[in-house]
């Protein structure tokens, strides 16, 4: 950050679709926290009635237990957010609450919410990290608390620092020897499975290219991969997509009413394999008991574990976790196995041993990528590269244009298309890679398949490429997926068009550009649940949280409400209320124009429903016959069901308030798009009106 006597600015990294680079953009002082508020899950949490109801029940029970002992009820609420749990505690009969919130805009909102609901005399908002809170006559807290209420959890349970926070609280902020805690306990569960779909996100698989096998490098296949958790809406992964190899195991529990340790630990669960298969993936989630008896339970289990999947609560702030074993292992039905979970103070990881080995082996080390592929390819990128149907589409398109005298240049990040072009017999193949690590990963692929030197990988930008780099040749085939690691929204991959324009001086007069064009598509949708992340709450469990709604809306109005945001829509079911439409086409056979490209029109609502916004995606025309979609993967069903690509995020433009569609075609969503060549981005606007 930089400051002067009159102004304070912050510099933010932002992808530049016109250059493919990460630019440092000067923003106003407020930008950081407006972004954090706008992208937060505060509304999602408050819309989670199951969570709120269970917390309220647990708080009432804890307050009653303390009162039954004849003690005053002093509550410590760590990570109070809106102050909701503190207000629940006072309503339940607590004598006083200390509500700790480190994020100042949220602490300010909590102060206003507490005041608006008439609890200012019994709730003190402390704008600090809990580890900085002091106790004593002159401290933030007059006395230690005997009830500890927290919501410090993430999808992985401990990823937001829950263990160190609890450890510190027990040592310094709550009564010595233990307290009443809400939640009382958390339990982590795991299941060992085989899943081709999920495993494709972790390891590069062999590929078929014109009858030849392209093998993954051994260093990649034997790499433990990235240590970070893969958090997804596991409810959207059909049970048909995996085979359980063992039972659902209870891995470990943490009792929050007693002193908690953040020291690294390991826990194992032994079982006979339920079936033969390849042990690849661990599915994991947790639940919390709000009371010591375990009668008030809030579970993160996916919907397919419920007798009635429709009854499962939806939440986006807590999802489920997928962990990939360091290497897959074949197991036989009946074989005794031991699944081990290890954790430090912020993350979990899993390993698998034979039961008779687990007692003598040292605790498994935290996974660490040593092949570099897991550092430069995201999990969805692994899935995209492993998609056989997608690979065959590109191979068929390349086969139609690659000739024995072709000089091919590939422009995409970490792409295998140049390798395919070499395998298809191109005279020369060059690949432009944006990073040294990506260059090394592709070189590993070439070396593993005895193709070293078959593709010349150049670590330069397209505008730096010269005839000398091409050994005097001209480009006859320019290829791209297109995929760029800096792209956030679907149309940011139009950077390929800028690359093509920069290379125009090196193209033969009749050069093939693959893909030859791109199309921006849209459809107005009704979300099953995703709308909750943007919907105002108003009243939550009887408490007015309007000041939070105002704070979020102010931050959205700062910029976000005028922009789309990236979302993996395969995880978030929606119904199409209009027909999908191609609204803007970009001709890669021509250079990027100097003037903006504009289009406008309207789409009538053809289905009844509640329209929450618009979904947007790109489709690429590889040649006259082959098209690949980064959005809808098949036509919308008669009822409006949408099937989305697993590999790319789509753009979502949320309306400020939903629109009720009668489906009779009298109402429509009007759209206006402007592609700005100077910045490589698309500005858009939507309105909904009836005739």
Hey, which residues are catalytic here? 151, 160
Tell me phi and psi for residue 49, to 5 degrees. -65, -40
Q: Please give the DSSP secondary-structure letter assigned to residue 493.
A: G
SS3 of 378-399: CHHHHHHHCCHHHHHHHHHHHH
Phi, psi of 117 (to 5 degrees): -95, 5
Using CA atoms, how far apart are residues 241 and 407, in angstroms rounded to an integer? Answer: 41
Residue 476 falls in which region: left (phi positive, over 0), alpha (psi -120 to 50) or beta: alpha
Q: Note the Cα 55 to chain centre separation in Å.
A: 26
Distance CA 92, CA 67 (A): 11
- Find the helix packing angle between 84-91 and 104-116, rounded to 10°: 30
Report d(CA 457, CA 443) in Å as an integer.
8
* DSSP, res 688: E
Question: Distance between CA 588 and CA 500 in Å, rounded?
Answer: 7
Q: What is the spatial distance between Cα 257 and Cα 252, in angstroms, rounded to a whole number?
A: 16
Question: Read out DSSP for 62-78?
Answer: HHHHHHHTT---EEEEE
The distance in angstroms from the start CA to the end CA of the chain is: 50
For the stretch 498-521, what's the b/e string if a residue is b when 16 or more beta carbons lie within 10 angstroms of its beta carbon? bbbbbbeebbeeebbbbbebbbbb
Of 107, 91, 106, the closest CA to residue 43 belongs to 106
CA distances from 359 to 154, 290, 335, 337 (A): 31, 34, 16, 12
Query: How would you classify residue 538: left for phi > 0, otherwise alpha for psi between -120 and 50, otherwise beta?
Result: left
Which residues are CB-contacts of 528 (< 8 A; sequence separation ≥ 6)?
314, 572, 573, 574, 575
- Contact, 512 vs 591, CB < 8 A? no
Q: Which residues pair with 576 in a beta bridge?
A: 525
DSSP structural state of residue 309: G
């Amino acid at each position: 950050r930089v400051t002067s006597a009159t102004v304070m600015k912050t510099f933010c990294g932002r992808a530049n679709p016109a250059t493919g680079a990460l630019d440092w953009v000067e923003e106003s002082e407020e930008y950081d926290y407006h972004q954090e508020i706008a992208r937060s899950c505060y509304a999602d949490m408050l819309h989670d009635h199951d969570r709120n109801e269970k917390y309220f029940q647990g708080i009432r029970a804890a307050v009653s237990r303390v009162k039954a002992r004849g003690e005053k009820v002093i509550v410590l609420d760590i990570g109070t957010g809106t102050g909701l749990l503190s207000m629940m505690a006072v309503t339940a009969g607590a004598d006083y609450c200390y509500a700790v919130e480190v994020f100042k805009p949220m602490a300010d909102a909590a102060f206003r919410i507490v005041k608006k609901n008439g609890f200012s005399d019994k709730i003190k908002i402390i704008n600090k990290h809990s580890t900085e809170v002091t106790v004593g006559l002159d401290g933030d807290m007059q006395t230690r608390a005997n009830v500890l209420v927290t919501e410090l959890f993430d999808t992985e349970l401990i990823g937001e620092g829950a263990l160190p926070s609890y450890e510190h609280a027990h040592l310094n902020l709550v009564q010595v020897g233990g307290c009443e805690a809400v939640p009382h306990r958390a339990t982590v569960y795991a299941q060992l499975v085989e899943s081709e779909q999920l495993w494709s996100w972790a390891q590069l698989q062999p590929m078929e290219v014109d009858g030849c096998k392209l093998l993954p490098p051994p260093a990649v296949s034997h790499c433990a991969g990235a240590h970070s958790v893969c958090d997804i809406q596991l409810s959207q992964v059909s049970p048909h997509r995996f085979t359980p190899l063992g039972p659902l195991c209870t891995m470990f529990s943490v009792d929050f009413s007693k002193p908690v340790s953040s020291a690294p630990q390991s826990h194992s669960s032994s079982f006979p394999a339920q079936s033969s298969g390849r042990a690849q993936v661990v599915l994991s989630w947790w639940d919390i008991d709000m009371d010591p008896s375990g009668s008030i339970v809030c579970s993160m289990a996916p919907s397919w574990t419920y007798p009635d999947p429709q009854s499962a609560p939806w939440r986006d702030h807590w999802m489920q976790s997928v962990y990939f074993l360091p290497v897959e292992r074949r197991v036989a039905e009946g074989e005794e196995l031991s699944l081990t979970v290890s954790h430090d103070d912020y993350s979990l990881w899993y390993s698998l041993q034979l039961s008779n080995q687990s007692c003598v082996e040292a605790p498994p080390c935290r996974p660490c990528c040593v092949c570099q592929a897991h550092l430069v390819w995201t999990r969805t990128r692994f899935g995209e590269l492993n998609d056989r149907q997608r690979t065959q589409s590109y191979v068929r398109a390349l086969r139609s244009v690659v000739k024995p005298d072709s000089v091919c240049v590939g422009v995409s990040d970490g792409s295998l298309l140049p390798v395919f072009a070499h395998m298809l017999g191109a005279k020369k193949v060059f690949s432009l890679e944006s990073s040294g690590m990506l260059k090394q990963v592709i070189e590993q692929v070439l070396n593993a398949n005895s193709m070293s030197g078959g593709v010349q990988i150049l670590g330069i930008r397209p505008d730096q490429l010269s005839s000398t780099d091409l050994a005097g040749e001209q480009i006859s085939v320019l290829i791209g997926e297109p995929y760029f690691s800096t792209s956030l929204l679907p149309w940011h991959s139009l950077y390929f068009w800028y690359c093509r324009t920069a290379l125009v001086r090196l193209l033969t007069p009749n050069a093939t550009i693959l893909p030859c064009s791109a199309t921006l598509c849209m459809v107005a949708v009704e979300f099953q649940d995703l709308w909750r992340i943007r919907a105002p709450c108003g009243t939550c469990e009887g408490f007015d949280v309007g000041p939070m709604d105002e704070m979020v809306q102010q931050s959205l109005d700062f910029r976000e409400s005028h922009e789309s945001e990236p979302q993996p829509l395969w995880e978030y079911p929606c119904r199409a209320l209009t027909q999908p439409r191609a609204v803007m086409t970009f001709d890669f056979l021509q250079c990027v124009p100097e003037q903006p490209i504009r289009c406008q029109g309207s789409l009538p609502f053809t289905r009844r429903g509640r329209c929450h916004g618009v979904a947007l995606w790109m489709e690429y025309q590889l040649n006259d016959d082959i098209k690949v979609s980064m959005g809808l993967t098949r036509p919308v069903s008669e009822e409006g069901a949408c099937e989305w690509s697993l590999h790319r995020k789509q753009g979502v433009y949320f309306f400020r308030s939903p629109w009720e569609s009668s489906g009779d075609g009298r109402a429509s969503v009007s759209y206006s798009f402007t592609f700005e060549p100077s910045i490589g981005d698309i500005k858009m606007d939507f309105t909904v009106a009836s005739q």
